[in-house]
Chains A and B, each alone.
Chain A
């Protein structure tokens, strides 16, 4: 503090309304982060449409396409292809669609503007949003894996590698979701995010194998984070073969580019 700054003592500020004050033991950043993360997760779970998107649709798609064999399959048992694909879909739903739409509406409700003048700060807000997404993804993964096991899925491979792939996918899709939220009006963002969700569901190697696409479309699909995420999960959890280099490269590129674009486009109001 420089000599020009005015201290609380100089302003004559007293205890404040004679109300009891509350003291915290945790460090300021941790306390804010914990409170904000809890809030972010609670708000997501309170939104019915968000629950439908993050849990309802993936479970329904998983059960339906595992039992009704109408899609072209690249594996003997459809569940072996579907399980990692639907896990990827769940990651995309939470980190891109749910996070992006919620953030867009938070801006239109002036929630972000109000937070801009509190001690929370941008780093804690962003970290808490990501932490809440990861928490919800853990719940999604547990439920989807249990359902998949019930449908006869026998995963094998490298779970650690799958976790890394999910984290990269989360960062990529969170960046895309926040970028859309930062550049579009809330209602337009809602429509675009849902449209993108549908497009990436079809082109993302989640329920239809990219190998069944015409070559130009397969090339385009492989450049998108959805196919890279689902292929990465498929190979790390199912196939026993190493994750293809293109999937790593595409995921890492989106992990860098999308959050940077989101940071540049970020607006409190």
Chain B
């Protein structure tokens, strides 16, 4: 294992005609670690990963994957990286067995096709055409094809999208095994619980720019506007200003996520909890749930994205 980053971007800019997809992005990723790239639609996640894979030529800045510029050194890199596209990539009439045997022929020292088929759990559909596989089976096949050449750097674009819970578990296990073997894994995802489970580090993008990079714990502490949050669910909507005054916080710290579902960015001190329950009692509103604790990754992420939108 090395402290030298195996993937690095410096001041990366990617444009499509006039549109800027990624602007001034710098980050690093290391061997034996999982980096999750998070961000809303259009944040620049796929553009960034595609530039790392060599599909996109940056308009500005530099990229290094295992010390090579991916746009210029595809030959040197192709046997050392593994790529899982967001969708497609296999002939519709090709079966998993055919695809895995074909891809194994591309590499000098591939994993055994039967082992891969077993690893991704596709033995039962080994001879079924790709077009007839379920979404989850397609994803698992795509993952198998990405790792068959024993890659040192693995790019996974939305690896668990459309996969059932059991399939997700299998994909997670494979990713963790790759990580243990020393591979650098870079994945994009919309699914924050997935990132929370898998990632050593997260990189949050918004509108093509980096919002933050750090460990999940750092994201949680940065994204929590205070040292704690209170989650409240009641039968009917409340006046946000009244709720904020009662909790002793600014109105901006109270978010109504759904009608009757509130997130208050403030520690759940006994005094604050009493004040809130007293208010609800005076309004004769019954409580469905009332909890206090720290923000989860989703809340921290939304706070950071919201904060970034307010700043820009």
Interface residues of A (CB under 8 A from B): 1-2, 4-6, 8, 10-17, 19-24, 28, 31-32, 34-36, 39, 42-43, 46-47, 106, 109-111, 113-114, 116-121, 268-269
Choose one: B4, B107, B174; the contact of A6 (CB below 8 Å): B4
Query: Which residues from A are CB-within-8-Å of B177?
Result: 17
Q: Are B87 and A19 in contact (CB under 8 A)?
A: no
The yes or no answer to B74 lying at the interface (CB within 8 A) is yes
CB distance from A43 to the nearest CB of B (A): 6
Query: Which residues from A are CB-within-8-Å of B74?
Result: 116-117
Query: Which residues from B are CB-within-8-Å of A5?
Result: 66-68, 76
Query: Which residues from A are CB-within-8-Å of B181?
Result: 13-17
With an 8 Å Cβ cutoff, the count of chain B residues facing the other chain is: 58
Query: Which residues from B are CB-within-8-Å of A16?
Result: 111, 147, 150, 181
Give the one of A32, A39, A106, A117 with max B CB within 10 A: A117
How far is A20 from B118 in the complex, measured between Cα atoms in Å?
A: 12
Query: Which residues from B are CB-within-8-Å of A268?
Result: 55
The yes or no answer to B31 lying at the interface (CB within 8 A) is yes
Query: Which residues from B are CB-within-8-Å of A11?
Result: 1-2, 6, 31, 66, 152, 182-184
Choose one: A14, A23, A120; the contact of B182 (CB below 8 Å): A14
How far is A11 from B30 in the complex, measured between Cα atoms in Å?
A: 8
Q: Are A12 and B182 in contact (CB under 8 A)?
A: yes
Q: Are B106 and A32 in contact (CB under 8 A)?
A: yes
Task: Find residues 122-151 in chain B having any chain A CB closer than 8 Å to their own CB.
Answer: 145, 147, 149-150
Interface residues of B (CB under 8 A from A): 1-2, 4, 6, 31-32, 53-55, 66-68, 74-76, 78-81, 83, 85, 87-94, 98, 101-113, 115-116, 119, 145, 147, 149-150, 152, 174, 177-178, 181-184
Q: Are A39 and B111 in contact (CB under 8 A)?
A: no
How far is A15 from B110 in the complex, measured between Cα atoms in Å?
A: 10
A-B CB contact pairs (8 Å), 28 listed: A2-B67, A5-B68, A6-B66, A10-B2, A11-B184, A13-B150, A13-B183, A16-B150, A17-B115, A17-B119, A19-B112, A21-B110, A22-B104, A35-B102, A42-B98, A43-B91, A109-B91, A110-B87, A113-B85, A113-B88, A114-B85, A114-B89, A114-B145, A116-B55, A117-B81, A118-B78, A118-B103, A118-B107
Choose one: B4, B92, B116, B150; the contact of A10 (CB below 8 Å): B4
How far is A13 from B4 in the complex, measured between Cα atoms in Å?
A: 14
Query: Which residues from B are CB-within-8-Å of A109?
Result: 88-92
Q: Are A118 and B106 in contact (CB under 8 A)?
A: yes
CB distance from A57 to the nearest CB of B (A): 21
Closest to A43 in B: B91
How far is A23 from B111 in the complex, measured between Cα atoms in Å?
A: 9
Q: Are B184 and A111 in contact (CB under 8 A)?
A: no
Q: Are A6 and B93 in contact (CB under 8 A)?
A: no
Query: Which residues from A are CB-within-8-Å of B54?
Result: 116-117
Q: State whether A35 and B150 are in contact (beta carbons under 8 Å apart), knowing that A17-B111, A43-B91 are contacts in the complex.
A: no
CB distance from B180 to the nearest CB of A (A): 8
How far is A4 from B101 in the complex, measured between Cα atoms in Å?
A: 34
How far is A34 from B119 in the complex, measured between Cα atoms in Å?
A: 26
